[in-house]
Amino acid sequence: MDKLLHEKELLAKGYKYICGVDEVGRGPLAGPVVCAAVIMPLNDVILGVDDSKKLSAKKRESLYNIIKEKAIAYAIFRVEPQVIDEINILEATKLCMKNAVESLSVKPDFVLTDGNMTLDISVEQKSVIKGDANSYSIGAASIIAKVFRDDIMDKYAEIYPEYAFEKNKGYGTAAHINGIKEAGLCPIHRRSFTKKWQ
């Protein structure tokens, strides 16, 4: 599949600044949900951009730096566990994506979102199923969000070593759940996701 298919269709209709948006961290038991919005130049495509989950950490890191360097504009936003608990993960993700889009230094003409999200924004938008694998712009956003969030979780791993966050990034692995059973919850755990251990 041509990863630029959606972008090419929009360019043909006269749109210029096409933004891809993606989130990372909807499923973990701990840590923020992170969203990135990216407007990429479509005449200078970076090889290897794909769904961040399909790439090695090393490959993601190198693409992260190239994407940031080449992007017309990018913005990263995070929503903390306390807010996720308050408004639920779906609403927190939508809020996160909306804020990432609205934080861009260049206003997009059109926004492509991953999944089936409809955002409360004033810009035209379209959601793309498996967008991180099927759209170049969303794939670039997924890499930015993933590397940024992994870095956050690595830092939290130093503060809260009991949960092996450096390995699981907050997802509910056996080591993480054992950590909860032994040490209880820490301040970055999502209370709405960890009720059975409270």
- Residue 186 is predicted with a pLDDT of 97
Helix axis angle for 5-12 and 136-159, nearest 10°, is 130
Residue type, position 37, single letter? A
Give the pLDDT band (50/70/90) at residue 9. very high
Query: Residue 176 domain-assigned?
Result: no
Q: Are 71 and 40 in contact (CB under 8 A)?
A: yes
Rounded Cα gap, residues 190 and 33, in angstroms: 11
Tokens 């960890």, located at residue: 194
Please indicate, yes or no, whether the overall pTM of this predicted structure exceeds 0.85: yes
- Residue 155: both structure tokens together: 């830092």
- Res 53: pLDDT: 86
Mean pLDDT of the chain, nearest integer: 95
Q: What pLDDT is attached to residue 101?
A: 98
- 137 occurs within a structural domain: yes
pLDDT greater than 70 at residue 1:
no
Instruction: Look at the alpha carbons of 118, 56, 34, 169 in this order and tell me if their dihedral is positive or negative.
Output: positive
Tens-digit pLDDT profile for residues 24-78: 999 999 999 999 999 999 999 999 998 788 899 999 999 999 999 999 999 999 9
Residue 76, token pair as written in the block: 């990263």
Residue 191 lies in a domain: no
Domain harbouring 134, CATH code: 3.30.420.10
Q: Residue 108: give the domain boundaries.
A: 5-155
